[in-house]
Every structure is written in structure tokens, then in C-alpha cells.
Amino acid sequence: MISSPFAVLFSSDRSSSGKSTFTLAFSRLIKERNIHISLFKIGPDFIDPIVLGAACKCNVTNLDSFLIPKNRLNNLFINNDDNNNNDNGGNKIIKTSFIIEGAMGLYDGKSYIIAERFKPPVVLIMDARRISSTMASLIYGLKNYKKGIIISGVILNNISSERHYQIIASEIKKNIKDIKVFGYISTDDKNISIKERHLGLATPGYFSSDKEFEEKVDKIKIAVMKNINIDLLIKTLIKDSKAFFSILKTNEKNNFYCGNENKKTISKISNRSNKIKIAVAYDNAFLFYYQFNFEIFKKFNAEIIFFSPIKDKSIPEGIKAIYIGGGYPELYAEELAENINLKKEIYKFYKNNGLIFAECGGLMYLSKKLIYKSQKYDFLNILPFVSTMDGTKLTLGYRTVYLSKNSFLGKENLKINGHEFHYSKLLLNLNNDKENNNKYDNKYKNEYNSEYNKDKYNSKYNNNDDDNKYGKKYKNNNLNNINYSNEIKINKNINDNQSVIDYNISSNNKISNAINDGNNNFSIESLSNFNVEYVFAVKNISSDNLTAPKINEGYKTLNAIGTYVHISFFSNQRIAKNFIESAKKLSL
């Protein structure tokens, strides 16, 4: 039985070394020993946290000094330590163990920042494939390259034999002080990996059942931990975690909240009974969310209600806003396209000026159509784009988003940080996309330009099947009463004078005259023809692109905004507050 809490950061010299696999196996084992754990993933990644969280039945929090202000990172640890109490002297006793999965190599990205700032003991997961004694020099370099971090030991992955392990372990023990070798993972076991797809590991929904996923995780745990000295590992982590817990206690009183607001103010907000209901699309198609975004929404008096665009036939009742994150809409395109009742309800909600904020896969869902493997799927038709996965390339990187116009997210010039990671792209007009132009004949182009006229759209969405309870719901309140023209109709019950919300579409304030260059940078003239405008100016943040220009992004029509950037509301909580306050003002 583990008597004291510990912390650990699993890192390496590179990506694909086995960090995710070992973190999953170790966390599962510790959780099964009834030890309270909090799990973290460094960086903006969504997929590893989803898999790890499902395996351990708990949330995984992203740690990223770009997405989260550095002075508030500490509070993510404090707020995840919900298994603590005080001793007789009123001093806090921390009972939670903290397990952190690094990203890329130890000195790449944000891993070193977390290791240096919070001093969790680092355990290196090193890929020993096609290397032996030289491995010791890599570990020596990682330990001595920069000061200020604690490297406790190493686990060797892809060991081909016991002799292979002994050669490397002997070199490490002989030449590097204060580094323990905790064991190895064999190359022979085929149970130690989860299938991958184009954005990373296959999420739990990829498996045929929860049972299949659980069985796979158990096989991984057994195979990975078979040759690990777990008692030595935990004993070492407890000893080397003193600095980490000292830092947590020292910084415990740091303010988690935004601006000049304090815990007392937020408590008053959170205790109100009239919470603002926010519907969040959450299923196998839409599952990429930062957990701290939900907590920030709740702090500003939001009630999160999850729904499934794949399975549900109606949106939750009484909602004021819809939040649609990223995911894999292309893998569930047929189910999404065929869920006519739900599409109808979301479209009606949009036309009545309900707030919709959609990121990445959610942006694709707002579009007219999706093209995937040459097949076409009808989506929400809120934004006049076609999204395509065909003939595309990966786009990724950190982004700083500047609000270029007033909207329900706030006033012009507010900024917020986020991350972009996708293969899809948007087409405003197939004629403007030379790369894909020859793939579609004139018949399809004509269909593209004419399919969503008022009559065809209304007839398609007014299927009043008496045997369907959702059809009955709309029998006397169908979409024939909704204007599908380009004219903007404002719900008369909405307070139109609030400074946070800008309902009016205007093409006079032009952001750019650029034409569509294949990177979603359409001209404002072409967008305004569809009553759509840019509301973001996005800057690509990278070490070799410090002077990058701002690019037009963020597409708004009525009170729907779609963007490819996954927003961290932690980086500017004022924008999250504006979102909730704007929703509160709506009368739907």
C-alpha cells in the first residue's frame, strides 16, 4: 500500500517513444490499487487525454503554458487535488498523486517548462530499438543539458532480450549518478499498442464495445508492467516529489479566477439558481474539448448539458447556446447527415438567434456539405461552405486569436489563445479550388449552387412522420415559418442594445480583399454575399515565424461562429464570461 502521494512526469527524447502507452498502463495499475490520482497531459493534444481518461475513469487536464497563463498553471494541480483535508493545525494534507504525460521530447514544446516550474520527478521512457550502450549517452545528455529539473530514472522500451536490457542498464548505472533503471518493455509483446488513425490514437469509440476497450487496456497494462520494478519506481517517486508538493503548498493561494474577480464573487455567481443552459455536442463525432473550458463556463453560472448529434433527435430544452467541438465528423458523416430531426432543431435554434460556437469539426458540421472519400454528405447549412477531407494536408500550430469585430464573444481587439490541428479545408466555391476542380463534374457544381434553395430545403426538413415523436413535435411548428433567404431576421424579444452582442451583418468594415487561396482565406465581399463575415484575425505562433501576419478567420452569421481554432477560454476568461452573459440576454 502506498503511504504517501507522489508526482511523476513521463517524458523522453522524442515522440513515439512509448510515453502514452506507459502512462496509460501505470495509471491504470495505480488506480486499481485504490490510490487517488489526478491525470495531466502536457500540450494541446485531445486524443491522448481521451484514451487515458477512459482507461482510468477520470478526466485528464491539459497543461500548456500557451493555452493557460503561467501564473495559473499551479491552480490546475490544486483544483485537481479533491482528496485532501487539513491536519489538526489547519495545514493542508495532499493525498492525491499526480501523473503527467509529457509531449514530444523533454526539451521540446512545454514539457521542460512544467518540469522546471513544478519540479515533478521525471521518468524517461526511452526507445532502445537498434541501440545499446549509446543509450547511456542520450540519458546523460538529457539529465545534464539544462538545470532545474529532477530526472529520477528511466524505463527502456522495445528491448529485444534480457541481454540487451542488461547491457544498457549496466552502462547507465556505471556512468550516470542518481539515475535508476526501473525496468523495460519488451518488443515481443503485440498487446502494447492501440490502433492509430489520421489524428492519432483510436479513441474508445473506435472499439466495438466498452468491453473490448477494457480488455485491450488490461492487456496493455499487463504487458507493459511485466518487467517493471513498480515498488522501486513508486518509492523513488515519493522521495523525489518533495519539491513538487512544497511548490504546490507555497502557491496554493494563487487566484484561479480572471480579471479582478475573486472567489467570493464567483461563488455568488455559481450559487444562483438561474443557471444558463449550454448544450455541448459530445459523442464519437465531437469529443475534442479542453476540460477546463467546461469548468470556466460553470464558474460563470453555466449549466453544461451534453447531447449527441449522432443519436439524439432533439436539442436539450431551455438552452441559450450550443457549443460544438472538434472530433471526427467525417467518420460519422452518414449518421450526422441522416439525423434530419436534430439538424432541423439546430437550424431553427440558429435562425432564432441562438448562440452557436463551433470549433474545427464543429465548423465542418456548420457547413453546407462535407466531402469525404468522394462522397457528399449534407450538414447543417448554417455556413455557406463545403468542407472537404479529400486532397488536403495537415494544418497545425498554436494560434493567437484577435476579435476583429464585436460579437457575442466580446468587443473588438480582445485576444485569446488556441490551437489548430486538422486535415480538412473549406471551399466557398468549387470553381476557386483548382486542386479539386477536376474531380467534380458540372452536374455536381450545379447541384452545389442550387440545392439549398428555400423550397427544397423546407420540403426536405418538413417530414412530419406521425409515427415519430419528433416529427409530431414539429407538426404545428415546422420550418415553413423560418425565412431561409439571405435577409437577416432578428428575434424581436432580444435586447438589441447590449454592447457585448453585435447582431448586424455589415460588409463595410472590410478585413481583407484576398481571394480564396485554398487556406480558407476568402474575400470579405464573397462572404458578405452570404451574410457571413470574419470575426477573427488569427496569428500563427511559432519559433520560426515570429512576424507572421494575421489571417482572416472565424466565420459569423447571425449568432453562429465557426472557427478551425480550438479556443482556450483559460487564456482569456473574459471571453468565456461574455459568451455566457450574451446567452443570458437572449429570449428564446
Catalytic residues: 360
DSSP 426: E
E strand spans, 134-189: 151-159, 180-186
Residue 209 CA to residue 448 CA, distance in Å, equals 38
First to last CA, the chain: 55
Comparing CA positions, the residue from 173, 193, 191 lying closest to residue 181 is: 173
In this structure, what are the phi and psi dihedrals at residue 204, rounded to the nearest 5 degrees? Answer: -55, -35
In this structure, what are the phi and psi dihedrals at residue 397, rounded to the nearest 5 degrees? Answer: 145, 165
**Packing angle between helix 242-250 and helix 111-118, nearest 10 degrees?**
80
Residue 293 CA to residue 76 CA, distance in Å, equals 12
Residue 209 identity (one-letter amino acid): S
Residue 459 CA to residue 469 CA, distance in Å, equals 19
In this structure, what are the phi and psi dihedrals at residue 324, rounded to the nearest 5 degrees? Answer: -120, 115
Residue 124 CA to residue 18 CA, distance in Å, equals 10
Sign of torsion over alpha carbons 392, 393, 398, 399: negative
Long-range contacts from 41-44, C-beta under 8 angstroms, 24+ separation: 41/100, 41/101, 41/103, 42/9, 42/100, 42/101, 42/102, 42/103, 42/109, 42/110, 42/111, 42/114, 43/103, 43/104, 43/109, 43/110, 43/111, 44/398, 44/419, 44/421, 44/566
Q: What share of the chain is helix, strand, coil (3-state, %, to 5)?
A: 35, 25, 45
**Per-residue H/E/C for 174-197:** HHCCCCEEEEEEECCCCCCCCCEE
